[in-house]
Structure 1
Amino acid sequence: MVNVYSEDAPQYSTVAKWAAEFNRGRTILEDDPRSGRPADVITDEIVAKVQNIITTDRRIKVDEIASECGISHGSVCNIIHERLHMSKVSARWVPRNLNAQDRHQRVVSSRELLDIYRADPENFHARLVTGDETWIHHWDPETKKDSKQWKNKTSPPPKKFKTQPSAGKIMATVFWDSKGVLMIDYKPPKKTKITGAYWADLMKKLRNAIKEKRRGMLTAGVLLLHDNAPAHKRRVAQAAIRECKFEQLNQPPYSPDLEPSNYYLFRHLKSHLRGTRFANDDDLIAATEAWFGGQGEDFYFQGIESLQHKWEKCIQVHGDYIEK
C-alpha cells in the first residue's frame, strides 16, 4: 500500500486492525448500526411530518414541534430554515379584508392605469398630480427598529420605554407631482372634517398652484390621482374637478398601497420627523416644509415612477394587498 499510495497510505496499525476484522468474518466496510437515536434524525419522513404540523397550525412553537416529533429543538430549526426554507413573521395590518369583487376591481384599475402609463410614460410623468391627507404629530416617538444601535458583546443592551404619539397634531393635505410639492393645506385637530366643499375648494387652490408653478401643465391636461374617500366623490367636489378640467384617474377603493402619498411621500416624511419634539404647530409646519423643500426632483420622480411597479405587482398577486 505504501508503494501504491505513498504518503497517503494508512498506518500499519490501521491496516492490521482491518485484517483482523476480516479474519473474524467481517465482509462490509460500513460501521455497524448503533443502539439508541440514529446519528441523523433529519429524514425525509421527519421533514414531511414537520411540514404537515406547521401547515395545520402556522402559529405552533418550535418546542411543541420538537416534542411531537421526538427530536431536538435545534433539529426542528434546521428543518424549518434549511430544508423547508420557512420563517416565522408577524401578521401585517391591512385596511380591509378584500373580497373577490374588491380584488377584481383593483386588478381592473391597475390594468387601466398601466395602459395609460405605457402609452406614453414621459407624458404621464409630466401630467400626473397626486395628493392625500395625513396626520403629523408634535411628537412621534421612534419605533423599536428606528432606535437600533451598535454595541459591544459585553455591553448591556439599550432600553427603550414605550411612548405614544402626542395629542398635539395637524392634518396636512399635500399635492405633488414628479417635480415636487405643489401645495399644502393644514387643518388643526378640531377642524379636520374633510367635506365635499372643502375638497372642492382645494381643487381650485390646486389649479392656481399648478398655473403658478408648472407652466404648460394646465394646457397639456392634468391627470389627477387621489383616493376614493367619500368627500372626494361628493357632487360638489366632482363638479369642481370638472370645472378645473382635471382628468380624474380610476383609483381603486381601499388601496393605500397604490397611493404614492401613503406608501412613499408620507412614509419618508414621518421617518424624518420621528423622534423630534416640536413646541407648537408653527415649528412642526416649518420642519415639514423644510423637509419637502430639501428633496430634489429625483426623489419626487421616483415616487411617481414607482406606480408602474405597484400596478404590475397588484396584477401579479391577483388584486391582493402589496407587501412591498
Structure 2
Amino acid sequence: MSAESSNLSNIEHHAVIKYFVKKGKTPKEIFEDLALVLQESAPSYTMVKKWARLFQQGRESCEDDPRPGRPVTLVTEENIRKIEKLVLVDRRIKLWQIAEELQISKERVREIIHEHMNMRKISARWVPKMLTPFDKQRRLQTSKDFLELVGDNIDEICDRIVTVDETWVRQYDPESKQESMQWTKKGERPPKKFKVQKSVSKLMATIFWDSEGVLLIDYLPKGTTMNGQYYANLLAQAREAVVQKRQSAVFTRQCICPHGAGFEAGPEGHGLLGN
C-alpha cells in the first residue's frame, strides 16, 4: 500500500474500528490489524482502545466530540520546539508516539514536521564500514601522496591502477519473497518471515580489480594462514593476470598489508608493481 493511500483521516480510523467492534474483535486485535496494514500511519493503541470502548457502549457517531476552549490551531511555536526536541533525541520516533506525548493529533504532528521543520523520514543508506576520523585522515593523506607521486601523468597512471582488498564471505541460506509465500484462508494472519542469520561457515576472499573489472579472486583454503609467503604467491598470480592485459600496473590496497609479502611499499603501505 502506498504512503498516500495509507494516510486515513481520524473519522476513517474510527469507522474501521467501529466495523471491527461489530465483528466482535478485541481492541488488541483491531490495533494489530491496523498496524499491519497502515504501518506508521496506524492509530495508536490508546486511541483504538478508547473508540472501541465507546462503540461497545453504543456510540454510533464516528466524529470527534467538539472540545470547548480548544485553540483554533495546534501549530504553535511551543509545539514545534517540543516536536523538534523529541525528533532530535530519537530520529526513529513514530508520529503516533509524538502525538501521544504531546496530546495532539498525528495530522498536526505530520504537518509540523514536514511543513514547519522541513524534515522527512528516509531509510538509512548502507555503507561497507564506519570510518573513524583517523581512517578518514589516513585516506586523505594517502590520496595526496599518490597525487604527488603521479604528477602530471595522472590519467595514464589511473588506467594502470590495480586495487586489492580482502573480505569475509559468509554462507547464507536466503529465502526469496516468492519462496516464502503460503496459502492462507481468508481472515488468517499472514505468515512471518524472520531475518536470516549469518552462518558460522565463512571464507576469506582476496579480490584484485582494475577500472575494467575483476582480475583475480582467491579464496583462502580452510586451515591456511594468510602469511607473507602466501601473500607473495598471491601477488605473483595477480601479476600474471595483469601481464595478460598490460605491461605494467600500480597495485594499491584498501587496508594496510600486515603480511610482509616482500614487495616494494608505496605510500601508506601500497605496493608498486610493474615497470
* 2:223 maps to 1:196: no
* 2:257 maps to 1:224: no
Q: Deviations over 1:132-168 (max 9, x none)?
A: 2233355442588x9999xxxx998675344334445
Task: Please list every run of 5 or more consecutive structure 2 residues that lacks an aligned counterpart in the other structure.
Answer: 1-66, 271-275
* 1:154-303 matches, cutoff 5 A: 159-191=192-224, 193-211=225-243, 213-216=244-247, 218=248, 222-229=249-256, 232-234=257-259, 236-237=260-261, 239=262, 241-242=263-264, 248-250=266-268
> SS state of the match for residue 268, structure 2?
coil
* Identical-residue share of aligned pairs (%): 34
Q: Give the AA of the match of 2:226.
A: I
Q: Deviations over 1:182-226 (max 9, x none)?
A: 2222223332x3222222221222222222x1232x2xxx22121
Contact preservation (8 Å) 1:224, 1:249 = no
- Measured in 2, the distance between the counterparts of 1:59 and 1:40 equals 26
- Measured in 1, the distance between the counterparts of 2:131 and 2:169 equals 27
Q: Equivalent of 1:128, from 138, 161, 180? A: 161
Q: Give the AA of the match of 1:196.
A: G
Contact preservation (8 Å) 1:116, 1:124 = no
- Measured in 2, the distance between the counterparts of 1:120 and 1:142 equals 49
Q: 1:87 aligns to what?
A: 121
Following superposition, the deviation at residue 86 of structure 1 comes to 3.7
Higher alpha-carbon Rg: 1
Q: Equivalent of 1:98, from 132, 136, 147? A: 132
- Measured in 2, the distance between the counterparts of 1:209 and 1:97 equals 31
Q: TM-score, normalised by structure 1?
A: 0.48
Contact preservation (8 Å) 1:109, 1:251 = no
Task: Please list every run of 5 or more consecutive structure 1 residues that lacks an aligned counterpart in the other structure.
Answer: 1-33, 253-324
- Measured in 2, the distance between the counterparts of 1:96 and 1:47 equals 33
> SS state of the match for residue 82, structure 2?
helix
Q: TM-score, normalised by structure 2?
A: 0.55
What is the number of residues matched between the two proteins?
198
Contact preservation (8 Å) 1:225, 1:249 = no
Contact preservation (8 Å) 1:139, 1:165 = yes
Following superposition, the deviation at residue 249 of structure 1 comes to 4.7
Tell which deviates more after alignment, 200-209 or 58-67: 58-67
Q: 1:258 aligns to what?
A: none
Contact preservation (8 Å) 1:42, 1:75 = yes
Q: 1:107 aligns to what?
A: 140
Name the structure, 1 or 2, with higher relative contact order (CA <8 Å, separation 6+): 1
Q: Deviations over 1:211-254 (max 9, x none)?
A: 2x1232x2xxx22121334xx234x32x2x22xxxx745379xx
- Measured in 2, the distance between the counterparts of 1:177 and 1:205 equals 15
- Measured in 2, the distance between the counterparts of 1:110 and 1:209 equals 26
Tell which deviates more after alignment, 110-119 or 55-64: 110-119
- Measured in 2, the distance between the counterparts of 1:170 and 1:110 equals 30
- Measured in 2, the distance between the counterparts of 1:77 and 1:117 equals 53
Contact preservation (8 Å) 1:171, 1:187 = yes
Q: Deviations over 1:62-111 (max 9, x none)?
A: 44432443311232123223332142756978756724x44433333344
Q: Give the AA of the match of 1:98.
A: T
Q: 2:32 aligns to what?
A: none
Q: 1:46 aligns to what?
A: 79
